[in-house]
Structure 1
Amino acid sequence: MDRLRRLLCLTLAAMLAAAPARAAASITVASTTSTEQSGLFGHLLPRFTEATGIAVRVVALGTGQALDVGRRGDADVVLVHDPSAEEAFVRDGFGVKRFPVMYNDFVVVGPKDDPAGAAGRDVAEAFRRIAAAKAPFVSRGDRSGTHAAELRVWREAGLDLGAVRGSWYKEIGQGMGPALNAASATNAYLLADRGTWLAFKNRGDLKVLVEGDPRLFNQYGVILVDPAKHPHVKAREGQAFIDWLVSPAGQGVIASYTINGEPLFVPNAGSNPGK
């Protein structure tokens, strides 16, 4: 019996030693649908957890909603892509400091036959042509960074969206993936982030029609929610996540995420673009 007991103890010890280590801590990150639906987090977060032992729970929303989650103290970190809104978040006392992390760009996708004649490099001119043709256009309409960028383009095109919009303009109030699905199903134009577009499979008759305009630059930033505002924020673990993201290790993991050899995001920690 003693021999059997010793054998069972040795077996249990071996099983425990072989079991994968569990994360000792966890944080909640409020982020955008583009970082999740592009597949970046699936590539990035396991490597962070392996390096630090900190698990990450992601709440994926539009940027405006993600910042609202941070304002309520329901996340430890926000990682979003609307620099002016991010700066206001910090200025209003909800975030400690904004760090640039990475960028990609927006593209205008639409039907291959391009009935509005939108193709080119000038995104404002493309929007003017889409509105003039009353060609189907899908808007996220969800206060996301992409939605904010779309509204900026309408303004830069000199168009009052409230005055020109009609049945051709469809707001869906959802993330990037559903918006791309809606555009594919209706053969409509859409402003999309390149990362999610590259990861998107259900393209139907859509193709990239407008790219390369400097106004399509898409910067992402990361911010620790201020523990002075919300004392329950896991400041040490949240700052560890930020420090890793902007470190050579984290930046290298971001750079290594590609689809068909094309990077979805370009790391640029330490820069201050878009000013």
Structure 2
Amino acid sequence: MAKAPNGPYGHLNGKVGKLVFYMLNGQPVVRLIGRKGKPSKLQLANYQKMAVTTNLFRKMGRFIKLGYGIQAKGTVHNAHNLATSYNKKHALKGEYPDIRIDYSKVKLSQGLLSETKDLKIKKLADGLEITWDPKAYGDLKINDSVMVMICFPENGQDLEYLNIARRSEGKCFIPIYEGLLNQQIEPYISFISADGEQVSDSVYLGNLNGEGKTREEKHHEQKYQLVKSRFEQVESSYLAHLKENNHIRPHTKAFKVLEKEYEVLKNQLEHLPGKPG
């Protein structure tokens, strides 16, 4: 049941039939509820795009809040909404069901503060060194803060630094242990004014160590190998039964069960992700 706290001509609050009325960030909103039918391929692709984008931001909450918070001020959106909307549209690659992040196109902050010059990243024995032009020019101030985000797609142990240095320092060092340092690394840097009122677009510093396998890809490979191992066992038994019976299918219940499992596993191997090569 919906209520009309603002009178008969005001915005409702609650449920009327299949409609739900509520307030979102000070704005009246209505949405449709009800059972969904079987999703189309386009809908499935959209679901995957949203899931992939959401997973990217899983450990970036504070960075995204600063990186898109200025844009969100005075609107019905929040920083996470804006970051999701931009990156879902611009930073994905591939087709369903293999939609992935294009790390070179990811934006973790967007703003009017100019980007700095001479950005470089170097992998050292015990971590990463990032350098930039420390001079102030235009709207760039020497006391601007430096924000760094280091993504590790293979295991999701992302590192978030919201105030790792000042622009005037011209460099920062991020200690990373060897196990992470040799994985796929996707680094980003942003600059934010000391008063928090201006932020730059994030800059992608370039891939380090090439593309590794994500946790999902590793999971698919492990599952494929388990099914393959079981299929080889069943196949060996299935072919042995046929050979013993001069390649004529026995009509026993045990053989029918074996044959059914053989066909199911064979079909799974043909369609499962994680196949080598």
What TM-score does the superposition give when structure 2 sets the normalisation length?
0.23
Q: Which has the higher helix share?
A: 1
Compute the TM-score of the two structures, normalised by the length of structure 1. 0.23
Larger RCO of the pair (alpha carbons < 8 Å, separation 6+): 1
